[in-house]
Structure 1
């Protein structure tokens, strides 16, 4: 039974890994081509490009870390190598989360229509606002790295003093707890910002639909479609990130530790977020969707020939 589950989880992980690299790689390639052709890139283009790159790094980091664990159970990891593993995860996870949050704010400021002076001030200066937030959260990243480095030092000091088998086999659990603690501390602010952006967008849509009814227009106009499309992307991000967050708690469940099935399940659930949300972004943006359809048509034509 365990061997069957191991095979199933492995197949799903490989599929998620390939799918995630294809979807994020497609976003990177499409935006890079637009950049070269037009010699410029829109604000949302830069956000999507940076977000896709951070998620490619995150996907590779998650897979390589899991492979190292499966082979050596982290007992081999030296202080420098452990710091590299933790640092790569912290940086890629930080930018993946914050860039998705900035994308949610971009949707809100670009699509929503509120008459409040504060909102109008932010809307008119949308590029400066988003750039300021991006540069400002670098402070969060530096503090995050300091915390991770501090806990890593303590963990390596304990490992040097205790090399028994029980301590070595608990290494992955210690790393998982450290990552989970880190996520609880530093994920709260961007998630709250994304959630508030989503709620405000719902409120904006409700007000817009009221105006539509007063004007006796029942059909869906471009503004309504833009609201609905942005809300789908934002709610998918929140739900998928929730599954990503929960995946780290799965590794604490005492189920078949000797076979690593708990960590396989954790990785399977965790990879949904960086892989699937990027595909939703492709479907939600007209230029990416059209480019994807064009590639599929060309592939069909090649198969016919």
Structure 2
């Protein structure tokens, strides 16, 4: 993943309008999640573990939206400033932190649903099921610690890329030289992606698959016994399965797009299309969280109905 020979094509500014719309939507949907839960908390209501995870994800996604927005603005309108060390490290450090944080928090949300829905008979999972309410704050805290310390090595493993006519001999000749980009360490990038993206993705995939399989078997059992499969409990479980499946799908697409960015030059239209897709990700995730949470879905519905009234 390098930023060699940064040249911003003129047509990239066309995408700016799309970025602005995405930023507005992402800010609104994530702020909605945070404010609804903040309102309940100020009223003296205790947020359950699911709400805490959802709020943490919304906060992480908000940082992701602003981080991506800042990087796009800098690259299009303030390209020269990107080569200032503190600007580059801050932008990419924040982006990497939010990506890692969002990945871990999503995996913990899926794990939470998994522990709540599936019945266990002994073993580690039964213990976790009994302790899940007290484990959630520690899972949220640990994900932030892991994400923060995983993004720190980015600063000292990234090296500058100089113009082609610059050599090491110029260092002692009081000559000026041009920084044209940064080169990220492939070993660090590979390791951090495996730890902070691939492992959480496996957790999401394993827990989602297990819940879908369990619900399918349960539905078949109820059908064979001529039982009503529209019970409230089963409906909640199906909603959780749909939320987890949606998160799994968008994370798969997100990681594929992020991977593609590492091989696309910045003067390619596909590079900017990938950036559009990346900025869509926090928006889609917040919408999935709203639709998958009964409280948020109800408040959203009430809000939309109020707007429709004359």
Taking structure 1 as the reference length, the TM-score comes to 0.83
Cα distance in 2, alignment partners of residues 240 and 287 from structure 1 = 23
Count, aligned residues = 291
Q: Which residue of 2 aligns with 1:40?
A: 46
Of 217, 241, 245, the residue aligned with 1:231 is: 241
Structure 2: tracts of 5 or more residues without a match: 1-8, 168-175
Contact 1:24–1:56, Cα closer than 8 Å, also in 2 = yes
Alpha-carbon offset, residue 164 of structure 1: 6.6
* 2:189 corresponds to 1:189: no
* Cα-Cα RMSD: 3.0
Alpha-carbon offset, residue 291 of structure 1: 0.4
Cα distance in 2, alignment partners of residues 252 and 294 from structure 1 = 43
User: What's the CA shift string for 1:219-277, capped at 9, x where partnerless?
Assistant: 3222322222111111111211222222223334556x44x634321211112221112
Cα distance in 2, alignment partners of residues 251 and 64 from structure 1 = 17
* 2:65 corresponds to 1:65: no
Q: Which residue of 2 aligns with 1:265?
A: 273
* 1:178–1:299 distance in 2 versus 1, CA, 3 Å: farther
Which structure has more helix as a fraction of its residues? 1
Alpha-carbon offset, residue 292 of structure 1: 0.7
Cα distance in 2, alignment partners of residues 17 and 280 from structure 1 = 17
Alpha-carbon offset, residue 279 of structure 1: 0.6
Cα distance in 2, alignment partners of residues 44 and 13 from structure 1 = 30
Structure 1: tracts of 5 or more residues without a match: none
Matches within 5 A, 1:1-305: 7=14, 9-73=15-79, 76-138=82-144, 140-152=146-158, 155-156=159-160, 158-159=161-162, 168=180, 170-171=181-182, 174=183, 181=190, 182-254=192-264, 257-258=266-267, 261-301=269-309, 304=310
Partner SS, residue 38 of structure 1: coil
User: What's the CA shift string for 1:82-118, capped at 9, x where partnerless?
Assistant: 2222221232222211111111111111122333443
Alpha-carbon offset, residue 23 of structure 1: 1.0
Partner SS, residue 41 of structure 1: coil
Cα distance in 1, alignment partners of residues 278 and 242 from structure 2 = 20
* 1:75–1:13 distance in 2 versus 1, CA, 3 Å: closer
| Bigger mean CA offset, 190-199 vs 114-123 | 114-123
Contact 1:112–1:204, Cα closer than 8 Å, also in 2 = yes
Alpha-carbon offset, residue 25 of structure 1: 0.9
